Amino acid sequence: MNPSNPIDSNIDETPATPAEESFADILSEFEREHSQPASHSRSGGGGEGESGGGSIEGTVISVSPAGVFVDIGRKLEGILPLEAAKNAMGGQLNLKAGDPIKVSVGGRDENGYCQLSTFKIVLPKDWSGLEKAFADKATITGTVEEAIKGGLRVDVGARAFLPASRSGARDQAEMEKLIGQQIECRITKLDVAKEDVVVDRRGLLEERANAAKAEAFGSLVEGSVMEGTVRSVMEFGAFVDLGGVDGLVHVTEMTWERGVKPGDVVKSGDRVQVKIVKIDREKRKIALGMKQLQPDPWTVALSEIQAGQRIRGKVVRLTDFGAFVELRPGVEGMIHVSEMTWTKKQKRPQDIVKVGEVVEVDVIGVKPEDKRIGLSLKQALGDPWAEAKQKYPKGSIVEAAITSVANFGAFVDLGNDIEGMIHVGDITNEKRLEHPKEKLAVGQVIKAQVTELDDDRRRVRLSMKTLEPTSADEYIAEHKVGDEVTGRVIETHPNSAKVELAEGVKGVCRVKVEEKTAAASESKSSGGGSADVSSLSAMLSAKWKSGSVGGGGASSSAAVNENALRQGQVRKFRIVALHPEKKQIELEIT
């Protein structure tokens, strides 16, 4: 006899012969002792009692968090765990006082209540019963007695060992909660000679869970809306228990908004409404959606947002070709890089806007069929070139810093993406420069005069040398209107002549009408032609002014020739006008 078997402590120590007493008889006696006092069935017969193998019909007394209390007859009450009651009712606990319910009766708990279950209890009465249950792979019940090394000891009519890994418990604390509880299990090893019995609970639980999942999975229909419980939240979405089977709500299917995290929308234990988007029955996967139960924000937005409208939004994403702006929750428009700034220079979107920045933009295009909205940042800011043309008219003076230097010139920043350009030939009057770097450097602040506004290039042409003092500036500063000066005629024209007054200083002498007419008349007279009345009058007026009235024709001709300007001639002139800003000097013949 095995001294570790508790059965031995309940029998007579006097040796018995096999003929007098079999081990099965001892086992039966032990069972009878431990099944008292409930040895009668509800009908009062000698059938199934508390430890019997069948089901009896009881009446629900009450339902509480502790369990379902059931009247099983003969003034006996039992308690049915809530989970067992839910499983029996298809996952929903719809019991109330007075409802009938079929239960199987096990042992008693520490409070004296009969332990009830909704499955038919099979409790083998002897080793032959255990052998049959093992051969049939039948489900049997047993009572967890204690925790031992590596698992639990279970009474299944004999002492059995339940390995921790096959207990169905997730940790040691959960496994210890099974002590004193009645469980279902199967025999996985049976050695009668060594009285070695090993049972498994986990496999049975998994089978039932899989069966429940298969049943639940088969009842699902694509497009239907269900309520479920969030079981776990991951980075990519959340798993929702639909009543025995899980479905995945991907983060993109949770809300119409972009950039949200699953944890911002749901948390474990939440009850949520979901729509079954797709069922993959081969892979047994269920795709769920939550945003489908909310109005599509694009439908609303496209009825409100029109081309030409100015609107505010938040920059949510940047790409190489532009920036995406959230205009409504779940509705984005795109600013192409070409619509970000008026400058012609190539710029990156991240150099102009930042993620999270609120910007004001103009709607330049709406495509409802593609759910696309084109935006412009530069149009909302206004064209700075129109303002620049008013701010920097031709001839105005600017002061700015050099931003870059090239072979042909230098650039300055005038603000609002407007550039000023100084050609290498407009830097100085001192000498001809081979490269702008001889006079200019990046960061150097200069003064320059606006000489041209280039609409095509949106650029202001500047000159520094126009602000440098010249010989003409000095000459003008030293003279005044009315001064008589000497100069050399360097160019002649029908109406004027250019006169060199000093090195680098030039003036313009206008030819008088009388002088031109007299010269023309003289030319005709010398040629033997006859002058008209107007020409003759002009000639006489010229002669009168020169004091030669009444002289001969030869004298008149000489006077006219003396007043005519010829290239290379050095003459006396009088200053009639000075224009310092234009560096111009106007002359007349004295």
pLDDT in tens, 160-198: 999 999 999 988 888 888 998 889 999 999 988 888 999
Q: What is the dihedral of CA 6, 8, 9, 15, to 10 degrees?
A: 180
Tokens for 9? 């402590």
Selection from 443, 411, 412, 409 nearest residue 426 by Cα: 409
Percent of all residues in the chain with a pLDDT value above 70, rounded to a whole number: 78
Say what the pLDDT of residue 297 is.
Answer: 82
Lowest mean pLDDT among 189-193, 216-220, 341-345: 341-345
**91-97 own/partner pairs: CB under 8 Å, 24+ apart:** 91/243, 91/244, 93/63, 95/60, 95/63, 95/68, 96/60, 96/63, 97/60, 97/61, 97/62, 97/63
Q: With a cut of 90, say whether residue 271 has pLDDT above it.
A: yes
Where are any strands of DSSP class E within 74-195?
Answer: 76-80, 100-108, 114-117, 140-148, 151-155, 159-163, 182-191
Percent of all residues in the chain with a pLDDT value above 90, rounded to a whole number: 34
Tokens for 470? 């010249």
Burial class (CB in 10 A: 0-12, 13-18, 19+), 109: middle
Give the integer Cα–Cα distance in Å for 195 and 130. Answer: 11
Position 102: which residue type? K
Name the range with the highest mean pLDDT among 435-439, 547-551, 558-562: 435-439
- 361: CB partners within 8 A, 6+ apart: 310, 311, 312, 313, 325, 333, 335, 375, 376, 377, 380
Q: With a cut of 60, say whether residue 87 has pLDDT above it.
A: yes
The H-assigned helical ranges of 384-433 are: 384-391
Give the integer Cα–Cα distance in Å for 203 and 124. Answer: 20
Per DSSP bridges, beta strands 140-148 and 182-191 are antiparallel
Q: With a cut of 70, say whether residue 36 has pLDDT above it.
A: no
**3-class secondary-structure state, position 555:** helix
pLDDT average, residue stretch 387-396: 86
Q: With a cut of 80, say whether residue 111 has pLDDT above it.
A: no
Q: Could you read off the pLDDT of 413-427 as tens digits, one per residue?
A: 888 778 899 999 999
Give the integer Cα–Cα distance in Å for 313 and 357. Answer: 8
Selection from 434, 468, 471, 430 nearest residue 448 by Cα: 468
Q: How many CB atoms lie within 10 A of CB 340?
A: 23
pLDDT band at 33 (very low <50, low <70, confident <90, very high): very low
Selection from 493, 495, 489, 494 nearest residue 507 by Cα: 489
Tokens for 133? 């249950």
Tokens for 268? 């474990």
Contact 315, 359 (CB under 8 A): yes
Say what the pLDDT of residue 124 is.
Answer: 60
Say what the pLDDT of residue 120 is.
Answer: 55
Lowest mean pLDDT among 113-122, 244-253, 353-362: 113-122
Lowest mean pLDDT among 103-117, 281-295, 456-470: 103-117
List domains and CATH numbers for the chain.
6-204 (2.40.50.140), 220-293 (2.40.50.140), 298-370 (2.40.50.140), 384-467 (2.40.50.140), 471-589 (2.40.50.140)
Q: Could you read off the pLDDT of 43-62 as tens digits, one per residue?
A: 333 334 444 445 678 888 88
Contact 137, 145 (CB under 8 A): no
- Rounded to a whole number of angstroms, the distance between the first and last alpha carbons of the chain is 156
DSSP 229-278: EEEEE-SSEEEEESSSSEEEEEGGGT-SSSS--HHHH--TT-EEEEEEEE
Lowest mean pLDDT among 33-42, 47-56, 140-149, 385-394: 33-42
Say what the pLDDT of residue 29 is.
Answer: 45
Give the integer Cα–Cα distance in Å for 134 and 389. Answer: 100
Per DSSP bridges, beta strands 419-423 and 445-454 are unpaired
pLDDT average, residue stretch 194-218: 86
- 403: CB partners within 8 A, 6+ apart: 411, 412, 413, 419, 442
Q: With a cut of 80, say whether residue 523 has pLDDT above it.
A: no
Lowest mean pLDDT among 117-126, 240-249, 400-409, 511-520: 511-520
Selection from 514, 483, 496 nearest residue 565 by Cα: 496
pLDDT band at 335 (very low <50, low <70, confident <90, very high): very high
Selection from 157, 108, 149 nearest residue 5 by Cα: 157
